[in-house]
Chains A and B, each alone.
Chain A
Amino acid sequence: MNRLKLILLQVAVGLGFLLLWHVLTAYPILAPTRQTQFFFSTPLDVLARVWKEFASGEIWRHLGITLLETILAFAFGAGGGILFGFLFARRELLAAVFDPYIKAANALPRVVLAPIFALWFGLGIWSKVALGFTLVFFIVFFNVYQGVREVSPVVLANARMLGMNERQLLRHVYWPAALTWMFSSLHTSVGFALVGAVVGEYLGSSAGLGYKIHEAESVFDVTGVFAGMVILSIFVILIDLVVTLVERRLLVWRPAPSTNGQG
């Protein structure tokens, strides 16, 4: 399948969906148009709203806040995950003792923490950062832990035979191995940082994309909700693109650059 054909097909699917949506809401096929439009809005209305949001400049402030929360959540979550991942992988006892607690904490649905974080950190950005942190931390933690534990024993033995001390092993073997695993989960963890931010905003705040969507929902403004979702999707795609570029740069040595973009 060549690239052009693929892109054409992808665009065709999108246009087909929009067309179906348009036809079903513009003509009284399933129900009177007033009714369908109340529940589903129309693609043209949604696009017009998206355009208006950007044209008026109102949306930028919200985007900026969501982006800031996402970046902070990712930075703290990844930093903590790397630190503890390393520590636990190199200290058997620590890993064994904390194992059940970490599993329990990871199994907990993080949404239930949102109100508590709001209580602790207020309604500003930090409660959202905290929510994103709890999501990102565990993904990065488990990946780094795994990466350090599963360093190829032959590569490790070879490095030791070259006379490397613990510090040099850390730098030349463990660290790159752990980073590989971390980057293989980069799309997921960045995605979760964003989920944390948006869900946190949705549950209680006065700014951000999640807030915008919540605000529209509370007055049954379906067009506003869909417009918010479209903007969120564009935002996600752009972030994912950046992640892919970063990944390509950092993992040049890998056999096949992973191209599975979820997030």
Chain B
Amino acid sequence: MPASSTTSAVSLLSVAITFGPKVGGYTAVKNIDLTAAPGEFIAIVGPTGCGKSTLLNASAGLLKPSHGEVEIFGAPLEGLNSRAGYLFQQDALMPWKTALQNVAVALEPQGVSRREAELKAREWLRRVGLAAFVDRYPHMLSGGQRKRVALAQMLIRNPEILLMDEPFGPLDAQTRQIMGNLLLELWAADRKAVLFVTHDLEEAIALADRVVVMSAGPASHIIGEFPVPLPRPRDIAEVRLEPAFHHIHKEIWASLRTEVQKAYAQGEEASP
């Protein structure tokens, strides 16, 4: 699509989101300006509770900003963002469907026949390393396996924008690396715009083109955007050994640390 290559994939324009009443409610994020170009991989880091999931919800169209605008490929977002796939932070699989059914059903809205959908779903589950678990129900899978099913469910639809909220959170270090490399590989083959939320700064740097750091809430805003000029293709494990990686890490951590401490202190105050 030549038209989309000139515009941005996702733009948050001076977005603010307030929960509860307009006056006296809790303003989670404020003055957020964030643009993801088509094919750009953006990682969002920030202290817990700062509003990372809230931003993804706004980009998905699940949450309407109290102020500001969300644009998708240059057009204001109305209702749900049909061009995005969303991997939720919480478990979002249908518990009454097996892994295979959960992935295959994602193709039903596109009118794909069930046989073909199941064939593709099998292929996707194989790719995320779950070939042996296709007939398991979510409760019979580990947290990490469920995340991988959700990943397959999102990717099988081939959305143009990927919204991922701590997708590798419950995975062990090894699987994290394997999945990270897999994600990079898939992304390199068919570049999509990615908004990737993580609490792991190293992971953010290893994966992204740009790392966005958010301040502690309330009224969280973006306190820094750090480009990651590491060459691609990258290997998650090896890229961490490069001197440039350490340099970037140090730089970002310097700004992130004070925010994390702030958020933590607030939590302490709030608790009785």
- Measuring CB to CB, which residues of chain A are less than 8 angstroms from any residue of chain B? 152, 154-155, 157-165, 168, 172-173, 176-177, 180, 252-255
B97 at the interface (CB under 8 A from A): yes
Instruction: Flag the segment in B11-19, B83-91, B207-215, B244-252 that touches A.
Output: B83-91
Q: Roughly how many angstroms separate A137 CA and B195 CA in the complex, as a whole number? A: 48
Residues from chain A with a CB closer than 8 A to the CB of B82 are 163
Q: Roughly how many angstroms separate A252 CA and B93 CA in the complex, as a whole number? A: 16
Residue of A158, A160, A253 with most chain B CB atoms under a 10 A cut-off? A158
B56 to chain A, nearest CB (A): 11
Q: A154 touching B91 by the CB < 8 A rule?
A: yes
B233 at the interface (CB under 8 A from A): no
- For the complex of A and B, list the 7 residue pairs with the smallest distance between their C-beta atoms, beginning with the closest: A158-B92, A163-B109, A253-B137, A176-B96, A255-B139, A161-B86, A154-B92
Residue on B with the closest CB to A250? Answer: B96
B105 at the interface (CB under 8 A from A): yes
Query: Which of these, A154, A160, A252, contacts B90 with CB under 8 Å?
Result: A154
B28 to chain A, nearest CB (A): 17
Residues from chain A with a CB closer than 8 A to the CB of B109 are 162-165, 168
Q: A180 touching B96 by the CB < 8 A rule?
A: yes
Q: A155 touching B92 by the CB < 8 A rule?
A: yes
B157 at the interface (CB under 8 A from A): yes
Q: A158 touching B110 by the CB < 8 A rule?
A: no
Residues from chain A with a CB closer than 8 A to the CB of B60 are 161
B8 to chain A, nearest CB (A): 20
- The 9 sampled A-B contact pairs (Cβ below 8 Å) are A152-B92, A155-B92, A157-B62, A158-B86, A161-B84, A162-B105, A163-B157, A177-B96, A253-B98
Residues from chain A with a CB closer than 8 A to the CB of B157 are 162-163
A175 to chain B, nearest CB (A): 9
Q: Contacts A163-B82, A255-B139 given; indicate if A172 touches B90 (C-beta within 8 A).
A: no
Residues from chain A with a CB closer than 8 A to the CB of B81 are 161
Q: Roughly how many angstroms separate A172 CA and B157 CA in the complex, as a whole number? A: 17
* Interface of chain A: mostly helix, strand, loop or mixed: helix
Query: Which of these, A159, A160, A176, A254, contacts B139 with CB under 8 Å?
Result: A254
Q: A161 touching B93 by the CB < 8 A rule?
A: no
Q: A161 touching B80 by the CB < 8 A rule?
A: yes
A180 to chain B, nearest CB (A): 7
Q: A253 touching B97 by the CB < 8 A rule?
A: yes
A45 to chain B, nearest CB (A): 51
Q: Roughly how many angstroms separate A255 CA and B139 CA in the complex, as a whole number? A: 6
B153 at the interface (CB under 8 A from A): yes
Residues from chain A with a CB closer than 8 A to the CB of B137 are 252-253
Residue of A160, A173, A252 with most chain B CB atoms under a 10 A cut-off? A160
B197 to chain A, nearest CB (A): 15
Query: Which of these, A160, A173, A252, contacts B94 with CB under 8 Å?
Result: A173
Q: Roughly how many angstroms separate A157 CA and B90 CA in the complex, as a whole number? A: 11
Known: A154-B88, A163-B157, A164-B109. 17 other contacts (CB 8 A): A152-B92, A154-B92, A155-B92, A155-B93, A155-B95, A157-B62, A157-B86, A161-B84, A163-B82, A163-B109, A164-B108, A165-B109, A172-B97, A173-B94, A176-B96, A252-B137, A253-B138
Q: Roughly how many angstroms separate A177 CA and B97 CA in the complex, as a whole number? A: 11
B92 to chain A, nearest CB (A): 4
Q: A160 touching B108 by the CB < 8 A rule?
A: no
Q: Contacts A162-B105, A162-B153, A163-B82 given; indicate if A157 touches B95 (C-beta within 8 A).
A: no
Residues from chain A with a CB closer than 8 A to the CB of B80 are 160-161
Q: Roughly how many angstroms separate A154 CA and B91 CA in the complex, as a whole number? A: 7
B260 at the interface (CB under 8 A from A): no
A178 to chain B, nearest CB (A): 11
B106 at the interface (CB under 8 A from A): yes
Q: Roughly how many angstroms separate A110 CA and B160 CA in the complex, as a whole number? A: 58
Residues from chain B with a CB closer than 8 A to the CB of A154 are 88, 90-92
Q: B91 touching A176 by the CB < 8 A rule?
A: no
Residues from chain A with a CB closer than 8 A to the CB of B91 are 154
Q: A159 touching B94 by the CB < 8 A rule?
A: yes
Q: Roughly how many angstroms separate A174 CA and B75 CA in the complex, as a whole number? A: 32
Residues from chain A with a CB closer than 8 A to the CB of B86 are 157-158, 161
Q: Contacts A163-B157, A164-B108 given; indicate if A158 touches B88 (C-beta within 8 A).
A: yes
